[in-house]
Amino acid sequence: MRFNLNPVRPVIRSGLLALAASLPLAGLVLAVPAAAQRDPAYQAARSAGQVGEKMDGYLGIVSGGDASLRAVVDDLNIKRRANYASRAQAQNATLEEYAFTQGCILISRTQAGEMYQAPDGSWQPRGPGPAQRDPRCP
């Protein structure tokens, strides 16, 4: 990680610029407890809007996306698929049903500035209000 994100430890920086740059990022991470569990490259791409939550319960690359980012996204989507498959079986549901429901909740939990897929298929930045979701979403 580029910046010291631990707010408890006294932050001593040589330049004021570096301190100013680190503050909004620290605030963002504190607001998202799940972000602490995420791979830093994935978290950075998510916050930058390069990666978004799709309606089908998987991650998608919104724009750009070099080979390393695609590899991160593919890896997470493979893990998600395996997770959905086993949980769907336990719930007597299909993989698609489970994944779609997961997508509903993941889209509703996106943070402001993150990207998500709207019901018309377009990528939308999450604003301060609720996300545009499929009418069937809970």
Q: What is the identity of the amino acid at 34?
A: A
Nearer to another protein, 44 or 109 (CB): 109
Q: 116 has which bridge partners?
A: 53, 124
Least separation in angstroms between CB 80 and another protein: 5
Q: How far is the CB of 96 from another protein (least distance, A)?
A: 7
Tell me if residue 134 falls in helix, strand or coil.
coil
Alpha carbon separation from 38 to 23, 41, 67, 89, 102 (Å, rounded) = 20, 8, 19, 26, 17
Among 120, 128, 129, 130, interactor with another protein by CB under 8 A = 120
The CB-of-57 to another protein minimum distance in angstroms stands at 9
Site for another protein in 9-48 (CB under 8 A): 34, 37-39
Q: Give least dist CB 48 to another protein, A.
A: 18
Q: Is residue 53 within 8 Å of residue 107, measured between CB atoms?
A: yes
3-class SS string, 5-55: CCCCCCCCCCCHHHHHHHHHHHHHHHHCHHHHHCCHHHHHHHHCCCEEECC
Nearest 5°: the CA angle 81, 31, 107 is 35
What is the smallest separation between the CB atom of 21 and another protein, expressed in angstroms?
27
Output 13 or 79, the one with its CB closest to another protein: 79
- Point out which span in 7-15, 20-28, 60-68, 93-101 binds another protein (CB under 8 A): 93-101
Helix (H, G, I), strand (E, B) or coil at 124: strand
Interacting residues toward another protein by CB under 8 A? 34, 37-39, 55-56, 76, 79-80, 83, 87, 91, 93, 96-98, 100-102, 104-106, 109, 120-122, 134, 136-138
